Structure 1
């Protein structure tokens, strides 16, 4: 939740510090640098030193991020806060998900991955919703959300302290840097899954980074709560789609997910052209569902095709591709907005995303027809 708290607050920061959409996208995008650094540097640590130390470290990075935002003045502090938040998210992407699955009671074991998914993506959706409502209706809009975050993190910290360790730690074992690579025999599966993930995360990054600017500058609704609700809808839709789609066969779910992503992005473009908030909400629902299905089932396809002894590095590589999609396209959108205007930049980015999603869709359909038994 803490990683997306700043989303509806960027408009306030830009007004107080005097920066535009380009700077907003850069501040948002450096978060991905923190995530990628954590995935590479700490991706294998919890397997060696245990889940609990990494969970504590992730909470401490999240606390540090909230403190930086709470005291933020110049732009560099906002960027530092985003990097720290990204490191926290990168640590939790692996360690917390594994801990939830390993610590779940036997009767909950089959539901544990869905619970981890809901906590992850659902938390991302709660961030802009909570911050938007507090900024609109509470005191000190740039302070209150992070005070609430720190209170919640204090509770989390106490809880983690008493969590049982789920890994048998080998004395003297040393953690190593996570290697990124994809075996030659599965590069086709990895590439088409990564294209779909890239498209979905590009939409997610665009929404999380500049949705408040869309709402205020294009739609004409000057409300932090409305901006936060719009972003939350995208994440909520993604969460529901991932949970509901758990039992759908991988190839079929990928086809459905990519189809929804193409349709949702086209609806988003229509919302920008028509300057309609209702159409943007509809686009967020459809795009979110498409992103959730295509990403989760793409991950399932990648994991299923990976050799067991290389599964961690392939999975980390998949996540790195996804988080690159959160950063580079949105910075490109910021540059485009500075030259062409926010609306044109949004239309161009979403058009490119639609093409990528369509490519992944066509490729998946071809593969499904070639190997119908696996579909």
Structure 2
């Protein structure tokens, strides 16, 4: 099977794999009560996901070019199933760390391989559209994970197991979808399975710095909402409905997808400028929502920041890999370095927020986090407006 039917099957498998990576988001308060840990450890558990993603991107980022797309997609689904099984068996905090690492490895494999496979099978002349579809499916899957887990945790029994059992069933569906698609890439006679180097050529660095600062700030926002938003809703806004947590996170990722679509239409530099402005405005709204305990302000800030993140992310990636006249044979190094910066952004600031929350409380920590992201976005905005 090839063409758009094959792309649709791959999109289903891609979305299912990404759903598993954000399933724990609305469940973190339940884990805290069941296993007896606080906000700092929650953010550390969340951040171990980034370790898995970065490891997969660096160690296996180019393997599908040599081994074929389907073998790597199968490996990603095996890791997704293994992560779900670990969470089903979890009876202490120690189980959460390997579960998150396995989930990150799965996401790292799928992010590159499924995107490449979607572009491979798309009809000629529709490759750019396939890339945009892949970006939307990626963000859509990430947003649907908390919705699925939140609804099941709120309205069904076994909140710490049922979401993962359901995801295991979905992984079977994804595996069938992958097997129905013809392999678009031939296996190399002598595969060269080397880790991906990290480097940024000198001629790309000025643009890379601006894009990386904006991307770092944007991914820090994604980390905040996928790791800490349950605590905000529970402790600050006194809303314990897990389905609401899922809806809030979905709003962020849906807005990110919309921002990516918009950025493709207005150009890289305007999109980066608008993305930075959106991050600043969104974080000001999020920071204001905490002392006032306002859910409408929080939701509005989430949507505005999500739009900014999506615009800045896609425009930044395009600017450092396509727009700048850098060496084509080093594009893989540039992309890998860019994503490593982004996933550091999704992990380290969130851990800092968790530490600050443990020391000073959720409201001051959340306001400081929002201010820090706004400052980073303002720095990127200033660099963009002052470029020669």
TM-score using structure 2 length = 0.93
Q: Take 1:76 and 1:154, find their aligned partners in 2: how far apart are those partners?
A: 27
Stretch deviating more after TM superposition (98-107 or 33-42): 98-107
Give 1:243 deviation, angstroms. Answer: 1.7
Deviates more, 1:103-112 or 1:288-297: 103-112
1:163 is aligned to 2:181: yes
RMSD: 1.1
Is 1:120 paired with 2:120?
no
Q: Does the 8 Å CA contact 2:48/2:97 hold for their aligned counterparts?
A: yes
Deviation at 1:232, TM superposition (A): 1.1
CA distance in 1, matches of 2:126, 2:86: 38
Match of 1:83 among 101, 112, 134: 101
SS of match in other structure, 1:106: coil
Within the alignment, does 1:321 sit opposite 2:341 as a pair? yes
SS in 2 for 1:256: helix
1:201 Cα deviation from its structure 2 partner: 0.5
Q: 1:28 aligns with which of 36, 46, 57?
A: 46
C-alpha distance in 2 between matches for 1:262 and 1:219: 22
**Alpha-carbon distance between aligned partners in 2 of 1:294 and 1:109, rounded to the nearest angstrom:** 22
Who is 2:316 aligned against?
298
Unaligned runs of 5+ in 1: 371-375
Q: Residue 216 of structure 1 aligns with which residue?
A: 234
Q: Which residue of 2 aligns with 1:10?
A: 28
Q: Distance in 1 between matches of 2:182 and 2:43?
A: 40
Q: How does 1:65-214 map to 2 (within 5 A)?
A: 65-106=83-124, 108-214=126-232
Task: Please identify runs of 4+ aligned residues in structure 1 that moved more than 4 A.
Answer: none
Q: Secondary structure at the match of 1:166?
A: coil
Query: Deviations along 1:307-362, whole A, 9 cap, x unmatched?
Result: 21000111011001000111111111111111111111111111111000001111
Q: Which stretch shows the higher mean deviation, 146-155 or 165-174?
A: 165-174
Q: State how far apart, in whole Å, the 2-side matches of 1:128 and 1:284 are.
A: 15
Following TM superposition, by how much is the alpha carbon of 1:247 offset from its aligned partner in structure 2, in angstroms? 1.6
SS at match of 1:3: helix
Deviates more, 1:210-219 or 1:238-247: 238-247
Aligned with 2:382 (options 359, 362, 371): 362
- Asked if 1:253 is matched to 2:271, the reply is yes
C-alpha distance after superposition, 1:99-152 (max 9, x if no partner)? 101111236434201210111011100011111111101121111111111111
User: How many residues are aligned here?
Assistant: 368
